[in-house]
Each structure stands twice: as C-alpha cells, then as structure tokens.
Amino acid sequence: MRRILTATLISLTAMPALANDDIVLRGMGSFHIGGRIAEVSGKPVREIVRQPGGPLTKLDSNGQYMVEQMYVQYFLPKNRKGKFPLLMWHGGGLTGVTYESTPDGREGWLNMFVRKGWDVYNSDAVERGRSGFASPDIWPSEPTFLPYQDPYERFRIGDGAGSWNADPAKRKVIPGSQFPVEAYDNYMRQSVPRWLSTDKAIIDAYVALVDEVCPCVLLLHSQGGAFGFKVAEQRPAKVKAIVAVESATAGIVSNAPKLKDVPVLMMFGDYVDDHPRWAAFKKIDTEYANAIRAAGGTVDWINLPEIGIKGNSHMLMQDKNNAEIAEVIQKWLASKGLVD
C-alpha cells in the first residue's frame, strides 16, 4: 500500500554557508520497512546489573526479536520535477549520511536533488545507522571495522598504499584530489561497522522498499550498486533507471537481460585504472553492462576525467565538485525523459 503523506508545506532554510535559498517541501518523514521475527531459545538466564550501582536482575534472552528492518527518510519538494522517486543507496561501512552534508559542511546530493525537484528517499541499509541488526545468537558472524587509514588509501584520497601518516602534514594526497582532505576526521566519523554475511537481509529490505514506493529511479554507490542491480533484477518493471556511481560489482550476469528496458548510467571518477581494486570492479561492471547491451538494453558509461571532470575520489558525492557531478547525472536523467 502506498504511504499516505500530508500536504503541509514545509520550508527548510539551508545554512547560509550551504545555500542562499529555501527548500520548500510538500512533505517529509521517515519509516522502517522490512525485517523479520527471529526466535532465540535454549539460552541460560543470566543475572546482570542494568545500571551502575543498581540491583542484580535476571536477563532471559530467549524469545522473539524484530531484526533486519531498514530505516528510510523521505523529502518531497513542493515543485516536483522528477517523474519518479529517487532512491539513494550508500556503500559499504557507511549510511545514508553519505548523501547528506559533506565532511567539510557543504551541501550533499540529497539536498541538491531535492532542489532539482526529485522526491528523495535516503536509507540506511540493514545493520547500518538507524536500521535493525541482530544479536550474535541470530547472526553468528562478527562485524568488521575499517582502520582509520583504510579509506584514505583505498578510496583514492591518498596517493595509494603507504600514503597515510598519523601526522596530517606527512600524508600524501593523490594529485589534484577533489576530496576535502582537511575534513578526513569528519569523514571517518561517518564510518560504521558492517557484517559480511547479511547480503540477503539487506537485499530483502531494499526489495520491500521498492515494492512500497516505486516505480522509481535508483542512485547507487559502491556496495549499494551490487545490491541495487540484484534488486532491479527482481523488480525490473518497478525500476525506471539506474545511476551506478563506482559500483563495487554489479548484479548476476546471467540476469542482466532482465534490465534490457531499464536505462543505466555507470559512472567512475579519476585514477580508477591505476588502482587494482577499482580497475577490477570496473571490469566486472563492464561485463555486466555488455550483457545488458547484448540483450538490447542501454547502458551509458561516463569516465569523469574524459569529460573534463578530474581528481575525484571514490566518494564523488562528497568531493568538492559534487554539484558539478550531480548536474551531469541530472542531465542524463533528463535525457531519458525522467524529468518534467
């Protein structure tokens, strides 16, 4: 059932440093979707102290739990121009914050695309941010964490392996970097743990979201691309276009023909071919794109340096030229007849 929204107009005045005009909405809100009931049994009853200095109380962890639900925020502009909702899905070890403000406090793609007239739905994947996860009794695997230097070297912010140094003055930045390196500490504050065994739960929740609010356009980043293409393979009639920003693999190649009627844009930033990890992902995405084309579908490919947009890290939506890249995406969406 389609969610019922109020018609109340809401004016959000952006901070002066971010924008000079208001965002006027016809509605905004949030909800959780998906999830399942999991049951734990056979666990011993324990005695715990719930508050320092408090009494011993019994903790019986047996019973039913709601797990694997996903958190979604939506922002609906008064002057809607996008013909369908735009769903923003983030990458691994991150949350929907990816699309909000940048680490150095500039406006993010969420605001930009609302300003461009899109109904935007921004979510935290299962086991990230405000979404549900599960106890070790339900998920036996452990979460993984990113060391502080990992994204700096792996996301093409620093100049490759060994470019990180605890002393900021000694860090080696990739030449011409557009990432706000002075705000790297703030970027790492966005980092969250993730599990390696929850792909099905994540995809199930995304499918539930698509069933709830679509037809729609998917804007995918990194690991979100791997999930997004698999979701689109399950619901091709509900997905009107896909924008995959540095997708860290795609879908299942044998299923690619299911997307022959879905226009796809694949986009990569700078220095990709110089980094074995990202070059490998690009090769996988190319194979998937070719399978869509072979079935009669359309995949457009943009290597940003080839159109004069240079220095971009893996986090294109947070780089200093994020507005320029958002406009490239907007023009592509308009070329596919998705903007009024």
| Domain layout of the chain by residue ranges | 10-35+70-335
Q: For residues 121 and 134, give the distance between their C-alpha atoms in angstroms, rounded to a whole number.
A: 24
Residue 54's pLDDT is 87
Q: Please state, as a whole number, how many other Cβ atoms lie within 10 Å of the Cβ of residue 60.
A: 10
b/e per residue, 104-138, with b = 16+ CB within 10 A?
Answer: eebbbbbbbbbbbbbbbbbbbbbbbbebbbbeeee
In whole angstroms, give the CA distance from residue 102 to residue 315.
10
Written as six digits, the tokens of 166 are 């605890």
Single pTM value for the model: 0.93
**Alpha-carbon span 54 to 31, nearest angstrom:** 35
Per-residue DSSP letter, 154: H
Tokens of 300: 């457009």
Structure tokens at 177: 């970097």
Classified as helix, coil or strand, 267 is strand
Under CATH, what is the fold of the domain 10-35+70-335? Rossmann fold (3.40.50)
**Cβ(244)–Cβ(229) below 8 Å:** yes
pLDDT (0 to 100) of residue 9: 59
Among the listed residues 184, 123, 126, the one whose alpha carbon sits nearest the alpha carbon of residue 150: 184
What is the chain's pLDDT, residue by residue, as a tens digit (340 residues)? Answer: 445 444 455 555 444 444 457 899 999 999 999 999 999 999 999 998 888 988 999 999 999 999 999 999 999 999 999 999 999 999 999 999 999 999 999 999 999 999 999 999 999 999 999 999 898 999 988 999 999 999 999 999 999 999 999 999 999 999 999 999 999 999 999 999 999 999 999 999 999 999 999 999 999 999 999 999 999 999 999 999 999 999 999 999 999 999 999 999 999 999 999 999 999 999 999 999 999 999 999 999 999 999 999 999 999 999 999 999 999 999 999 999 999 9
